[in-house]
Structure 1
C-alpha cells in the first residue's frame, strides 16, 4: 500500500531537478527503489519500462517516433522511462526531442548505468541533463528521519556545538551489527538472516548475468563473480590491484581493471580516493574499496551475528563498519549546504584517517571504532593531522564514530559520535 512506502530523501532533489533540467537521469543498482520513487512517490507523468520486451523492441525500431507518440498521449509530463540502459538508441532520440522543446522536466530516466556516457551525447546535452545516484536505503530513511547533516553540524561557522546535535538513539553493539548485516535493499533487509544472505547472493548473480551485459559483453562471467567475492573481502582496505589480480590465474590485469570499472559504472563498487597533502612522497595514494551495501558484503562472506563475537577476528567487523559509515556519509552528501568530497588518508609513517570529508578549506576526519567505549588515544591520528600534519593549515575537525549511545567531547573540535547520530536529524 502507498502509505507503507518509505520516504526517500532523493524525492525532494528529484522535484527540484524537474524544475531546472530537461532530463533527470537517476542511476543506481537494481532493486534500490528507483522504480518506486519515480512511479509511486513522484505521482506524476507517464511511466513505461524497458523491461517490457515489446516496449523495448518498438523503441529500438523507431526511437524518435515512439517518444513523440508517448509524449503526445500524456496529459502532462514527464515521460518516465524505467531501465533506460536496455536501449542502445534512446540517448540520441532524447537529444533530438529536447532540442525541439525548451520545457523543463520532459524526461525522467532510471537505470543501473548512465546512458549519456558517449562524448557525442554528453557534450551536446551539457546543462540539460541532471544525473543523480540512488543508493540503498539509508538508516535515516528506514527510521523516517531526515538526512544526516553531520557535515553541516561539524562545519558550522562558530564550530560544532554538541548542544546543536539532535540526541542520538540509544542502540546496543548487537543492534548496530544487525543493521550492518541487514543492509539497505528495501525488499531484502527485513528477511530472516539465512534467507537474506541467500537473496543477496542471488542478487549479485543476477547483476553479473544481466546488468553487466548492458554495459559490456564479458567472456568470463565466472571471473566477474569471483572478483566481487574478492572485493567483498577487502572492504575498508586499500586496493592493491596487483595483489588482487594474483587471485586469478590466467586473467590479465587489464581484464580485472575493466571489470572493476564496470562495477563502478553500475554503482556497486566505490573506490575512495586518497587525499593528498602535496608533500611529495609522504602520502600513500592507493584508493580504498567500498561496496554499495554492507548487506551484500557480509552475505558474500557468509557472515552472521556470531561472526563478531568477542573471540572473533576484529578486523572483519572493522572493514564492514567503515564501509557502512562511508555509505551513510555518501548518501547524505546531496543534502549538505556545501559540496563535499570524500577521501581517505594514509601517511608514510603509519598514520591514517579512515574517511576525510573536504569542502571549502574545511576537513572533517572520521575514524571508526567497533566498541562501545572511546579513549583519548583513539584521536591520536586526528590530533596529529590537525596540529602537526597537513591539516594544520585547514579548519580541521575530528570525529570518532563508535558503537555507543552518547556524544562525547575530547577537547576542541574533537568528538566521539555514536553511529546512531546518522539517523538523529528530524525529517
Structure 2
C-alpha cells in the first residue's frame, strides 16, 4: 500500500459555497480516498452506494434514506441512482444556506436529467472533475501550474531536461494512483492486461443506470481514439474506417466522455456554436490508456515519432487542464485551429475574460522559428496575453511577442517560475 498523496482539489471543494457539490471522475482515480483522507476529517459523514445493502435501502425509500443522513455527507457512487439529484434538489431547497450539505461522487457523469431533460441541480451545485494525478501532485506541489503559466515569471536560469525514454516512462505510467505507483513492478504483459481489464470494467453496463452499449463496437471505436491521442474528431471518417455511421461514432464518444475515458477540447473558433464535441481535439484521460492500447496493437510509441508526439501533447494537456480547478485563474480550455487548406493550430488555449494563453507542444529538444507559426497567428488576436512552446529541451528562453520556450519539466519543477511570481494555494501536504 502506497502512502496517500494529498489532492489540491480537496481544498477547492472545502471552499465551495453551494449546498451541493458534485465530484466526478474515472474509476480508481482517487475520489474515495480523497473523501476519506481529506474531507471526512473536516466533519463529513460518508456513505457509498457501491455497498449493496446501502443501495437497496436507498432505492426502497430514497427520500427517507436521505433524511436520515447526517450532513454534511459524502454519497459515493451517486450515479447509481438516477433519481438522486432530483430528490436532493427538493431537500436542499428547504435548507438555509451555510455551506456544503451533500457531496455526490461518481465514476461516471451523475444524471443531469429529470426536469424535462434539465439538470435538477442547476444553480444549486458546483461540479468538479477529478483526473489522474498530475506530476505536480505526485511530487507534493500544491500550486497550480495554470497560475504559473498565466501570471508567473519564467526563470531564464532554469536548466533541467528529461531524456526521451524517461519521459516516455512517465507517459506510460500515467497518473492513476495505484497503477502509476507500481508501474515498474509489473511485467509488460501485466501492464497490458491491467489496462485492458480496467477499460472493460468501465465499459460495463452497470456504471450508468439505463445506458446500454455494444461492448464490441465500444471497444473498436475507443481503441481507434486511444491510438490517436490528441487527434481531432472526424466522426464521418472514423465511421467509414470502422464501417459504422457517424451518429454511432458520436454516440459512443459521448459514452466515453461520460465514463471519463477521454476528454475533449473544443475549437475556440467554433465553441460559441455549442457544437458539443464535433471536431473537438480528443485526449485520453490518462496517457497510460493510450500507451498500452498502442502496444497491444503492435505499435511502439517510443520509436514512432508521430505517435510519440501525440502522446506528449496529451500528457501536457493532462498536466494543465485538471489544475484549472485549483488555480486562482480558472480559465476555460480549448484548442485553436483556423479553417483552410493549410490551417494554423495551437494545441491548447486557455481563455478567461479578455485574455488568451496559448500552448503548443513539440516532441523535440530543439526549436526554430517555424515552430511558432501557430502561436504567432494566435498572437494577432487582441486578447492574446502570452504563449508557450513546450519542448523536451533543458532551458527556458524568451522570444519576441511575449512568447516563451518552456521545457516539459517546467510543468512540475517549482524552480521553473520565480517563487513569488504567482499565487500559492494554502494546501497542507
TM-score (norm 1): 0.86
- Deviation of 1:303 after TM superposition, in Å, equals 7.0
* SS of match in other structure, 1:209: coil
2:212 matched to 1:217?
A: yes
Q: Distance in 2 between matches of 1:143 and 1:128?
A: 35
- Name 1:204's counterpart in structure 2: 199
Which of 229, 233, 237 aligns to 1:239? It is 233
Q: Distance in 1 between matches of 2:383 and 2:88?
A: 45
- Name 1:181's counterpart in structure 2: 172
- Deviation of 1:340 after TM superposition, in Å, equals 1.3
Instruction: After superposition, give the CA deviation of every residue in 1:340-377 in whole Å (9 maximum; x if it has no partner).
Output: 12222223233222222222232222111112222333
- Name 1:89's counterpart in structure 2: 83
Shift in alpha-carbon separation, 1:350–1:41, aligned structure 2, 3 A: same
Which of 22, 29, 33 aligns to 2:30? It is 33
Which of 312, 318, 321 aligns to 1:321? It is 312
- Deviation of 1:33 after TM superposition, in Å, equals 0.3
Check the 8 A contact 2:112/2:118 in 1, yes or no: yes
Which of 129, 148, 154 aligns to 1:162? It is 154
- Name 2:367's counterpart in structure 1: 374
Instruction: After superposition, give the CA deviation of every residue in 1:172-214 in whole Å (9 maximum; x if it has no partner).
Output: 2222111111111011113235223321111101001145553
Check the 8 A contact 1:379/1:398 in 2, yes or no: no
**Structure 2 gap segments, 5+ residues each:** 272-277, 415-423
Shift in alpha-carbon separation, 1:392–1:88, aligned structure 2, 3 A: closer
- Name 1:350's counterpart in structure 2: 343
Check the 8 A contact 2:107/2:207 in 1, yes or no: no
Instruction: After superposition, give the CA deviation of every residue in 1:293-332 in whole Å (9 maximum; x if it has no partner).
Output: 101111111179x9355xx321010111111111211111
Check the 8 A contact 1:167/1:424 in 2, yes or no: no
2:18 matched to 1:21?
A: yes
- Name 1:107's counterpart in structure 2: 102
- Name 2:397's counterpart in structure 1: 408
* SS of match in other structure, 1:302: helix
Moved over 4 A (4+): 121-124, 165-170, 210-213
- Deviation of 1:122 after TM superposition, in Å, equals 5.4
Shift in alpha-carbon separation, 1:26–1:392, aligned structure 2, 3 A: closer
Instruction: After superposition, give the CA deviation of every residue in 1:274-306 in whole Å (9 maximum; x if it has no partner).
Output: 12299xxxxxx83211111101111111179x9
Q: Distance in 2 between matches of 1:215 and 1:179?
A: 37
Shift in alpha-carbon separation, 1:124–1:50, aligned structure 2, 3 A: closer
- Deviation of 1:118 after TM superposition, in Å, equals 1.2
Instruction: After superposition, give the CA deviation of every residue in 1:375-415 in whole Å (9 maximum; x if it has no partner).
Output: 333223322432xxxx3423342211111232122234111
- Name 1:74's counterpart in structure 2: none
Farther-moved stretch of structure 1 (122-131 vs 328-337): 122-131
Q: Distance in 1 between matches of 2:317 and 2:410?
A: 14
Q: Over aligned residue pairs, what C-alpha RMSD do you find? A: 2.7
Shift in alpha-carbon separation, 1:86–1:409, aligned structure 2, 3 A: same
